[in-house]
Structure 1
Amino acid sequence: MKKFKVLLLFAAMMFALTGCQGISNAVAEEPSEETVPVLEGHDLMIYCGAGMTNPFEEITQLYKDKTGCEMNVTYANAGQIQSQINTAQEGDLFIAASADELVPVQDVVTRSENLVLHIPVLAVQKGNPLNITGLSDLVRDDIRMVLGDGESVPVGKIANKALADAQIAGQVNVVATLTTAPALATALESDEADATIIWKENAKSLSIVESPEMDKYIKTVVAASLEYSQDDEAVENFLEFLDSDDAKNIWTKNGYEIAE
């Protein structure tokens, strides 16, 4: 009888050990959480509008940290980027201020994705010392304006259209025409001008005049892939990353609104 009990105890211990090993193996065999593919040795050449420098630098640095992919980004105005794409015939992606900016390079665009809204605003010096209430006030003699270049800067084209639609083009005191949106903000900060039409995200140090008449000029930032790309895997993966919460949070933190 005693021998029988010993055998039962031994069998129970073996069963327990076998069961534990099975559980251990089952846990070990569970698939790990999905991670961003490692892209060490890959690199992307990207063109990006200068007005989006701050958020896009943060986005590309985060992507590089996560994947190891080298990110070579050229920041410039749309005219300069379009010229470089057509002349150099190289590059993977163009982050454009609006779909309109893809027209001069449309023959080499293979795909485009909407990213965020680009919202133009009437901006004035901090505190609005001249009490500017809308576009119609811009004809006053005491108001100095700076505008983006209407040929190469997307927000400059919008400004010209807004002034023309308000029937005040040619009546405002334009003291300078500049080639990037950040430069417009700097001109107001340094008291070189009193008002400008600029992207909302570039007006953080300024005051924005609530002007519903500007709503019709809202654009959508797009990411366009180019036929010159030699790395479809990295392009596709980065486009997916741009649609991630990580990227969207960076855009919104910098004052953008996510496009539907």
Structure 2
Amino acid sequence: MGMTRRRFSALALCTPLLLWGCGESSDKQAAATPPPTPTDEQATLLIYCGITMIKPIMAIGKLLEQREPVKMVYTQGGSQDLYLSLKKSHEGDLYLPGSASYLERNMADGLLGNTVHVGYNQAAFMVKKGNPLKVKGDIKELLREDLSVVICNPESGSIGRETKKILTDAGIYQQIFERATYLTTASRTLNAALKKGDADLILNWRATGYFEENKALFDVVDLPASMAIPKKLVLSKLTFSRHPQLAEKFMQLAASEEGQQIFRDYGFLDNKADIR
């Protein structure tokens, strides 16, 4: 690639993006029945959601809006950034990070309550459609001198933490960190780097390669499951939720067969997948 490599570190936290329930929907999941009539007593359910999972979560939220007098609101961003936001504000009802490790590391704060398993995330390479540079499913492809590589900051998004773990286990993290064209903050900005031509190769959550806006532009190159181990996705109710019963209904719907079909439609492994 003829581009001059730029080297900088995205140290600033990614500002979470607020989305209202009407902002995006899934045509696959649209229902014919009208939603309940809004009233002055209508609840608002706020979900903090990692970027990679926002599409299935919004599709499930649309179903809940059609069945309950509730308005869904979403904040999306890097998993740790989202946690810091909810911790500071003490507002909201549910939290879905890109890996269960974010729940484990923050559980002592007492803000995370009941949980439900909703599927699995898995890392993979992504390249331009047709794989013109013939990238193989080998982690050491990241060392190729003819490739521009962009990786995620491990201090921000869940894919950054997963990238660091995979590369550390392979013994090449420092090499890749030093030769990367630049660091970015989350799965969405990794995909943007590939689209813009800043990167020939990224390591990202594989489900994003199957999103409607990406699947015609990207090819997914899978890594061995022994290296890119599927990561459990766990949805947690926040202990300060103002609408705990509605939050539980959302959790039940997300974990049901109906909710799991939505996750499968967006390229995720479901909560019954055999990952041995």
TM-score over 0.5 for the pair: yes
Residues 82 and 104 in structure 1, CA contact (< 8 A), matched pair in contact too: no
Which residue does the alignment assign to 1:66? 67
What does 1:132-151 align with in structure 2 at a 5 Å threshold? 132-133=135-136, 134-151=138-155
Instruction: For residue 143 of structure 1, give the secondary structure of its aligned residue in structure 2.
Output: coil
**Which deviations, in whole Å up to 9, do the C-alpha atoms of 1:57-101 show, x marking residues without a partner?**
222122112212111211111121111121112221101211111
Q: Shift of the alpha carbon at 1:115?
A: 0.2
CA RMSD of aligned residues (A): 2.1
Letter of the structure 1 residue corresponding to residue 116 of structure 2: E
**Normalization by structure 1: what TM-score?**
0.80
Counterpart-to-counterpart distance in 2, 1:60 and 1:220? 21
Instruction: For residue 73 of structure 1, give the secondary structure of its aligned residue in structure 2.
Output: strand
2:167 to 153, 163, 183: 163
Identity of aligned residues (%): 25
Counterpart-to-counterpart distance in 2, 1:38 and 1:226? 27
Instruction: For residue 239 of structure 1, give the secondary structure of its aligned residue in structure 2.
Output: helix
1:241 to 253, 264, 273: 253
Residues 124 and 194 in structure 1, CA contact (< 8 A), matched pair in contact too: yes
Structure 2, unaligned stretches of length 5 or more? Answer: 1-34
1:199 to 198, 205, 216: 205
**Higher mean C-alpha deviation, range 146-155 or range 53-62:** 53-62
Residues 78 and 101 in structure 1, CA contact (< 8 A), matched pair in contact too: yes
Residues 115 and 258 in structure 1, CA contact (< 8 A), matched pair in contact too: yes
For residues 209 and 216 of structure 1, do their structure 2 counterparts lie closer, same or farther at Cα, with a shift above 3 Å needed?
closer
Q: Shift of the alpha carbon at 1:39?
A: 9.1
For this pair of structures, how many residues does the alignment match? 225
Which residue does the alignment assign to 1:5? none
Letter of the structure 2 residue corresponding to residue 194 of structure 1: D
Letter of the structure 2 residue corresponding to residue 62 of structure 1: L
Letter of the structure 1 residue corresponding to residue 262 of structure 2: I
Q: Shift of the alpha carbon at 1:151?
A: 0.7
Mapped pair 1:254 → 2:258: no
Instruction: For residue 44 of structure 1, give the secondary structure of its aligned residue in structure 2.
Output: strand
**Normalization by structure 2: what TM-score?**
0.75
Higher helix proportion (structure 1 or 2): 1
Q: Shift of the alpha carbon at 1:54?
A: 1.7
Instruction: Please identify the structure whose Cα radius of gyration is greater.
Output: 1
For residues 110 and 213 of structure 1, do their structure 2 counterparts lie closer, same or farther at Cα, with a shift above 3 Å needed?
closer
Structure 1, unaligned stretches of length 5 or more? Answer: 1-35
Instruction: For residue 212 of structure 1, give the secondary structure of its aligned residue in structure 2.
Output: coil
